[in-house]
Amino acid sequence: MVKYNEEFKQEVVNAYLSGEGGYAFLAKKFGVRSKTNIRKWVSAFKQFGKQGLLNKKTKTIYPVQFKLDVLNYKLRTGDSFEKVALKFGIHEPPMISNWLGKWQMEGIEGLSKQKGRPTMSNKPKKKNTTKKLTREQQLEKEIELLKAENAYLKKLRASGINIPNRLLKQNPESSMNSEKEFRLVVILEAISFPKSTYMYWQKQFDKKNPDEDIERLIKEITEKHNGNYGYRRIYIELRKRGYVVNHKKILRITNKLGITCTKFTRKSRKFSTYKGTIGKIAKNLINRRFYTNVPYQKITTDTTEFKYYTTNFEGKMIIKKAYLDPFLDMFNGEILSFRLSKRPNAKSILDALNEAIEVSEACPYRRTIHSDQGWGYQMKAFTKKLKDNNIFQSMSRRGNCLDNSPMENFFGLMKQEMYYGKTYHSYEELNQAITKYIFYYNNERIKAKLTGMSPVEYRFHISQLSA
């Protein structure tokens, strides 16, 4: 911090009083860092004369009653700190602000506390009056230390740490309650552990966990979403609930609690519906341009396979398959309709198509439905339905799953979160699980790219903005 001497301050004040310029002009002319300094010098000179420009050699200690009088005047009149300082002869206006803060936080006691270290005492230090131990007392102390040290080693071995037998002088059971048998001073000396460190950590363990509420919410979110949320989506969910916590802290807490999302590690087998060219192959109108800012404008579909286990009339376990036909809106990833069937069939595809067309009727633009070149999307009933409703048909290139990546991405998420690692023992159980998951996916499962909203929530949000 730059300090200016009295002669320099007087020169600047004289220049201001003679009308050479304003505060900003003089600050630039004389090289003063802030025009506020010049304003303070001028005010101090007008109030106290040359005494107001002197650099104080000693610190002024104000009594508590004086501080209270200053604060009462400040609160009663509402004057600025500078005006109050001039009235009471205080050279540093920020000091009044400091008094006010201490008074509001700690009351009168805050005004009586002195800043800095306490003064050194003139009293002579007490001499060390520790009595010299006799030979017998010294031996007793050494024996006690050895017992405590041996008990400590047994504790370590009981906790799984490998301690050689040669270091143990008595049976392991003899010192299971060593913390009750030995004084704290003896134990700390035996293990060469500072008492100050022991007392510090004892206080730390007794403290209330400051993250208790956050940890409870993280456990609640993890349980609600069946462990599907990693720390990033937990971070978004907490912000939606009004808790502003840094994502790195969320990561530290999840690591501490042992909460990790490990479901997204398994690759699924691709089910193919391609049976050759049995109808008309449509052009790839989407051409990987999946983004749209209009709901229902671009819709995609595909078929995927699930397995469930049941028993035959002989009581043997057999594997059966089910097939899911969903229609997904590329605007927000929402599933508009779906059907589950025990075998690939045209009825399942057409029923899901009819529902998707009905749901998306509100689209102000001509819709496009995209799919792969599966047999169900080449059949005449499918293409005729699209033509009757003035809907464009688009198809991926053969053998290229990236052309329909939004649908493949949904299948991957769905199977990782509700299918892999679980066994379904009937078609009805599998159907119920899929229906429940799709409702959860549409209405509750948040996405970072949808600004932390679920697909349905995001669609409503956009519709309200455009209304």
- My answer on whether 333 and 447 are in the same domain is yes
Lowest mean per-residue pLDDT among 124-138, 155-169, 196-210: 155-169
How far is it, in rounded angstroms, from Cα 271 to Cα 302? 10
Which two three-digit tokens encode residue 113? 């506390």
Domain boundary among 62, 95, 112: 112
pLDDT (average), residues 9-36: 82
pLDDT confidence bin for 401, thresholds 50/70/90: confident
Burial of 331 (0-12, 13-18, 19+ CB in 10 A): buried
> Residue 152 to residues 46, 146, 157, 295, 405: CA-CA distances in angstroms?
75, 10, 9, 69, 61
Q: Which amino acid type is present at position 211?
A: D
**Closest by CA position to 148, among listed 177, 115, 109, 117:** 177
Which two three-digit tokens encode residue 434? 């899929």
Number of structural domains the chain divides into: 4
What does the pLDDT read at residue 133? 67
Which two three-digit tokens encode residue 157? 């071995």
- My answer on whether 361 and 449 are in the same domain is yes
The predicted-structure confidence for 31-78, as pLDDT tens digits, reads as follows: 887 888 778 778 777 766 776 666 665 667 788 888 888 888 888 887
Q: DSSP 3-state assignment of 395?
A: strand
Q: Read off the pTM.
A: 0.55
- My answer on whether 350 and 377 are in the same domain is yes
- My answer on whether 334 and 429 are in the same domain is yes
pLDDT (average), residues 428-434: 95
Which two three-digit tokens encode residue 68? 């209270």
CATH number of the domain to which 414 belongs: 3.30.420.10
What does the pLDDT read at residue 405? 93
In a domain, 278, yes or no: no
Whether the predicted pLDDT of 129 surpasses 60 = no
- My answer on whether 304 and 376 are in the same domain is yes
The backbone torsions φ and ψ at residue 298, rounded to the nearest 5 degrees and listed phi first, read -120, 120
- My answer on whether 62 and 22 are in the same domain is yes
Q: Which residue has the tokens 């052009």?
A: 283
pLDDT confidence bin for 433, thresholds 50/70/90: very high
The backbone torsions φ and ψ at residue 335, rounded to the nearest 5 degrees and listed phi first, read -85, 115
- My answer on whether 342 and 395 are in the same domain is yes
pLDDT confidence bin for 324, thresholds 50/70/90: very high
Domain boundary among 112, 135, 153: 112
pLDDT confidence bin for 19, thresholds 50/70/90: confident
What does the pLDDT read at residue 186? 66
Lowest mean per-residue pLDDT among 69-73, 155-159, 368-372, 459-463: 155-159
How far is it, in rounded angstroms, from Cα 233 to Cα 241? 12
What does the pLDDT read at residue 371? 94
Q: Which amino acid type is present at position 93?
A: P
Whether the predicted pLDDT of 454 surpasses 70 = yes
Whether the predicted pLDDT of 167 surpasses 50 = no
Q: What is the mean pLDDT of the chain?
A: 81
The predicted-structure confidence for 70-116, as pLDDT tens digits, reads as follows: 888 888 887 888 788 878 877 777 788 888 888 777 777 777 766 66
pLDDT confidence bin for 244, thresholds 50/70/90: confident
pLDDT confidence bin for 378, thresholds 50/70/90: very high
- My answer on whether 165 and 70 are in the same domain is no
Residue 286 carries which DSSP code? Answer: S
- My answer on whether 316 and 461 are in the same domain is yes
What does the pLDDT read at residue 12? 82
- My answer on whether 452 and 323 are in the same domain is yes
pLDDT confidence bin for 176, thresholds 50/70/90: very low
- My answer on whether 188 and 45 are in the same domain is no
In a domain, 247, yes or no: yes
Structural domain of residue 12, as residue ranges?
A: 6-112
Whether the predicted pLDDT of 174 surpasses 70 = no
What does the pLDDT read at residue 40? 78
In a domain, 281, yes or no: no
pLDDT confidence bin for 179, thresholds 50/70/90: very low
Q: DSSP 3-state assignment of 334?
A: strand
Burial of 293 (0-12, 13-18, 19+ CB in 10 A): exposed
pLDDT confidence bin for 341, thresholds 50/70/90: very high
Query: Can you list the alpha helix ranges (DSSP code H) found in 159-274?
Result: 178-181, 184-190, 195-206, 212-224, 231-240, 247-257
State what percent of residues in the chain have pLDDT above 90: 35
Whether the predicted pLDDT of 211 surpasses 50 = yes
What does the pLDDT read at residue 57? 59
Structural contact between residues 429 and 419, judged by C-beta atoms closer than 8 angstroms: no
Burial of 362 (0-12, 13-18, 19+ CB in 10 A): exposed
- My answer on whether 220 and 72 are in the same domain is no
